[in-house]
Amino acid sequence: MKKFLFFFTIIAVAIVGTIIVFSGHDAFGASLAISPFLANMSRAKLESFADQALSDNYEGMDEFARYDDLNEEDMYEGFDDDLVSFMGSARSFLDEKKSGIYLTFNIVNNCGYTKTVCLNPAYFDTKGVTVVTDDKGAVTGASLNNTNVAEITAAGHHEIDAVIADGLIYGTDRAGITCSSANGRITDHLRFTKRNATRIPEIVFSSINNTTGAIDTTFYSKIMTIRQVFPYRTFGDTIIDLNDFFKVEQYQSGKITVDTHKYGMQADEQSLIFIQIDDNTRVTIKMLIGGISNTSHTLYKKASKAHKNILQGTAGVVPVGVRKNMASMKNKRINLLTKVAFGKKSS
């Protein structure tokens, strides 16, 4: 019998035996008292006893057979994790695509050339200054922007021409590249993800000819690159060929859905994400927001647990050393019962 069955059978027998034979007695004393009872039963009889003790609606232990060697990490799915938060209706990585929270923005290229646009600038500083001049070249004003790629290119990423932000990101108004967002500022998104790594499990792309408005399928022959960047060593690229996600029906719908989940795409301070956009093209990008490594959420959850324990009078009452000994004793008791019943230790 598998390890999981060992443990589950011991617990089932201990609980049922305590209720039937030792009703009204201390639970731990009862579990020690039934140890000889367990030891005198054969394995087959012990399994039969455990099955009979369970609800008639339960179909036995066979369904657990393939989970015998799993530990807590093997079963992790992100549910109720203090370190991670999810948007909308999602509660774990199992259903993070159900969140329904998208960042939707448009990129319009009218600069006359194909350009590479960065969708996530990693840890690089993109702040710059836009200088306004009159017809004679005299400076009439200046404003701050978030479109400066000087640090990115200086670090060796020479293929990147522009980085997304709100408004003009490259060239001039009539001969450049502009961005606009349908829900929230792009700059706010980038600032947030630099501090809180955010998964992007899906991106929906649609592309049209900016002059005619016709569906532009040439965009789906492009390559999107995820480049891991670090100050201390060389970086590696993950290549996403959009054509792999292009289907016949895209000629009518004009959009493709890229399962970026399987590429581990994240908007964070260690990921450069960039793609080429042709001239006279308007590309709409819908980024699905998945799990977030949210430090504010973590602090809130930790504080909530602590305050609940304070109200119960259990917080800080038991010293750390005593708590460790209690956990150790609990494991020893489980091992003892398992050894008595099956002649071996649980793991």
DSSP letter string, 45-101: HHHHHHHHHS-TT---SGGGGGGTT--TTTT---TT-TT-B--TT--STTSGGGS--
Long-range contacts: 186-189, Cβ < 8 Å, 24+? 186/103, 186/105, 187/146, 189/103, 189/267
CA separation for the pair 126, 250 (Å, rounded): 35
Indicate the SS3 state at residue 107. Answer: strand
- Which residue do the tokens 């290229």 mark? 109
Q: Which two tokens stand for residue 212?
A: 């005619």
Residues of the chain with pLDDT below 70 are 1-75, 78, 80, 250-252, 318, 323, 333-347
What does DSSP assign to residue 4?
H
Q: Read off the pTM.
A: 0.68
Determine the pLDDT at residue 104: 96
Determine the pLDDT at residue 91: 74
Chain-centroid distance, C-alpha 21: 48
CA separation for the pair 256, 245 (Å, rounded): 6
Indicate the SS3 state at residue 133. Answer: strand
- Which residue do the tokens 């150790």 mark? 328
Exposure string for 62-80, b = 16+ CB within 10 A, e = fewer: eebeeeeeeeeeeeeebee
Between helix 43-53 and helix 3-21 the angle, nearest 10°, is 60
CA separation for the pair 212, 232 (Å, rounded): 47
Chain-centroid distance, C-alpha 87: 11
Residue range(s) of every CATH 2.60.120 domain in the chain: 96-293
Beta strand pairing call for 255-258 and 223-228:
unpaired
Give the model confidence (pLDDT) of 166-184 as tens digits.
Answer: 999 999 888 999 999 988 8
Alpha helices in the chain, H assignment, sequence order:
3-21, 27-33, 35-39, 43-53, 150-154, 186-195, 250-253, 295-312, 320-342
Q: Which two tokens stand for residue 170?
A: 């490259």
Per the CB < 8 A criterion, the answer to whether 95 and 162 are in contact is no
CATH architecture of 96-293: Sandwich (2.60)
